[in-house]
């Protein structure tokens, strides 16, 4: 009899330059499993924690998507872009307000964050986002040159910490330029500005004067659906100087984190385990001829597995790094330990005498059997909403 396909989660440290779907494709190819998905898209520009589920664990993704998240990012104040990140075109006029970025202090940045971007806030998503408007993605409408108006939506920001600030200059030729002649401003509670002043320098191959900017390193813990790009845009607008995102690294999705997470929201034991369950990856360019005969080059995601492994050995190595179905389920939602008899009832679609207040996963702890996702039936009973087959 054929062995059942394995189920579980792998935490991929996604590299820059590839899509989340590219990472899913890499896992699917390595595990030889069709049923693979991820819990929350990271843009190609972004790096970090991408929770990828395979087998029956894909049924847990809807719950994991709703978990809060932690990001480390760099916001560039002084310039905006059409997409609010380094992928768009520079909007030089966004920094041409009544004040210049050189007059912005760390105290002002912190005060603006505390007053306007912490706790429960209303946020207007980015025009270039995956939100659907009448069945079409907002970014598709924006690329077609159509006006896109998105309504503000509630999000929760539990932490928005300034880690460091650097002052410098850019030529203003493209988004994501390296900072020139930066003055390090390591964030301290009582610091209000740089200890030395920066002098504008001539920027090579540019006749235009250099543009002063501030690069602000931040850590943000927030609810699902929060756009860090929008925080960068809105912080720049609040300060009157413009702003956009130039770096984004996700370190945590709910209880699933990378070893470099510094949110403090993951317990010591769980943090130690992250090293065993994280798989790094890198991007490689691939050139091919498409159906129209055109030569196309694009990046693909390559998992960092031991070089000497291939085929079944590589697959087994990846499965050894994965979280089991039970570990995945307990991390995805509240768990309820049940008896084998209750498991049998649930698999027949029957209710059990248990009190729950929210979707809960039912597990037989002695056998590590993940039985079902339960919903509240009434005040004293729970019913199965999703049933997993016995393995």
Euclidean distance between CA atoms 153 and 146, whole angstroms: 22
For 152-161, the pLDDT digits (tens) are: 899 999 999 9
For 249-287, the pLDDT digits (tens) are: 999 999 999 999 999 999 888 888 888 899 999 999 988
Rounded to an integer, the average pLDDT of 61-72 is 97
Ordered alpha helix ranges (H), 97-145: 106-116, 138-143
Indicate which residues carry an active-site annotation.
Answer: 43
Euclidean distance between CA atoms 302 and 306, whole angstroms: 12
Establish how many alpha carbons lie within 13 A of residue 187's alpha carbon, considering only the half-sphere containing its beta carbon: 16
Q: What is the pTM of this model?
A: 0.87
Distance of alpha carbon 386 from its chain centroid, rounded? 27
For 359-383, the pLDDT digits (tens) are: 999 999 999 999 999 999 999 999 9
List the end-to-end C-alpha distance of the chain, in Å, as a whole number. 13
Tell whether the model's pLDDT for residue 98 goes beyond 90: no
- Bridge-based pairing of strands 243-253 and 47-54 is parallel
Give the count of beta carbons closer than 10 Å to the beta carbon of residue 207: 7
Query: 309 falls in which pLDDT band (50, 70, 90)?
Result: very high
Give the count of beta carbons closer than 10 Å to the beta carbon of residue 73: 22
Dihedrals φ, ψ of 281, to 5°? -150, 165
Give the residue among 186, 224, 213 at the shortest CA–CA distance from 39.
224
Euclidean distance between CA atoms 298 and 83, whole angstroms: 21
Tell whether the model's pLDDT for residue 133 goes beyond 70: no
Tell whether the model's pLDDT for residue 195 goes beyond 80: no
Per-residue pLDDT at 174: 85
Euclidean distance between CA atoms 346 and 384, whole angstroms: 6
Query: 91 falls in which pLDDT band (50, 70, 90)?
Result: confident
Query: 108 falls in which pLDDT band (50, 70, 90)?
Result: very high
Per-residue pLDDT at 297: 87
For 40-55, the pLDDT digits (tens) are: 999 999 999 999 999 9
Give the count of beta carbons closer than 10 Å to the beta carbon of residue 324: 16
Residue keyed to tokens 């070089």? 307
Helix (H) or strand (E) holding 144: none
Dihedrals φ, ψ of 207, to 5°? -85, -15
CB 40, CB 223: distance < 8 Å: no
Spatial neighbors of 294 by CB under 8 A, at least 6 apart, are none
For 317-363, the pLDDT digits (tens) are: 999 999 999 999 999 999 999 999 999 999 999 999 999 999 999 99
* Higher pLDDT pick, 72 / 96: 72
Give the 3-state DSSP-derived string for 238-293, with helices as H, strands as E and coil as C: HHCCCEEEEEEEEEEECCEECCCCCCCCCCHHHHHHHHHHEEEEEEEEEEEECCCC
């Amino acid at each position: 009899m054929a062995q059942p396909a394995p189920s579980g989660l792998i935490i991929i440290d996604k590299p820059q330059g590839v899509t989340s779907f590219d990472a899913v494709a890499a896992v699917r190819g390595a595990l030889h499993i069709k049923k693979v998905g991820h819990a929350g898209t990271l843009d190609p520009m972004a790096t970090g924690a991408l929770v990828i589920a395979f087998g029956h664990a894909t049924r847990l993704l809807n719950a994991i998507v709703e978990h809060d998240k932690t990001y480390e990012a760099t916001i560039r104040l002084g310039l905006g872009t059409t997409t609010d990140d380094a992928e768009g075109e520079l909007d030089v006029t966004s920094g041409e307000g009544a004040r210049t970025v050189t007059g912005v202090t760390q105290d002002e940045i912190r005060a603006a964050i505390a007053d306007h971007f912490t706790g429960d806030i209303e946020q207007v998503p980015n025009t270039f986002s995956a939100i659907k408007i009448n069945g079409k993605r907002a970014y598709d409408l924006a690329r077609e040159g159509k006006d896109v108006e998105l309504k503000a939506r509630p999000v929760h920001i539990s932490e928005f910490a300034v880690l460091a600030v650097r002052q410098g200059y850019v030529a203003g030729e493209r988004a994501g330029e390296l900072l020139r002649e930066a003055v390090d401003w390591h964030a301290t509670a009582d610091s209000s500005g740089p200890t030395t002043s920066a002098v504008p320098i001539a920027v090579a191959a540019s006749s235009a004067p250099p543009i002063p900017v501030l690069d602000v390193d931040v850590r943000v813990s927030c609810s699902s659906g929060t756009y860090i790009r929008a925080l960068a845009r809105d912080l720049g607008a609040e300060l009157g100087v413009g702003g956009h995102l130039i770096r984004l690294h996700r370190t945590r999705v709910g209880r699933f984190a990378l070893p470099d997470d510094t949110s403090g929201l993951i317990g010591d034991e769980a943090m130690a385990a992250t090293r065993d369950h994280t798989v790094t990856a890198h991007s490689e360019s691939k050139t091919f001829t498409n159906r129209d005969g055109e030569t196309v080059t694009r990046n693909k995601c390559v998992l960092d597995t031991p070089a000497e492994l291939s085929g079944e050995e590589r697959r087994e190595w990846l499965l050894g790094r994965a979280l089991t179905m039970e570990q995945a389920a307990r991390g995805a939602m509240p768990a309820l330990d049940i008896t084998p008899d209750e498991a049998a009832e649930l698999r027949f679609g029957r209710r059990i005498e248990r009190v729950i207040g929210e979707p809960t996963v039912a597990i037989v702890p002695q056998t590590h059997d993940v039985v079902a996702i339960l919903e509240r039936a009434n005040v004293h009973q729970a019913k199965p909403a999703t049933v997993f087959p016995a393995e």
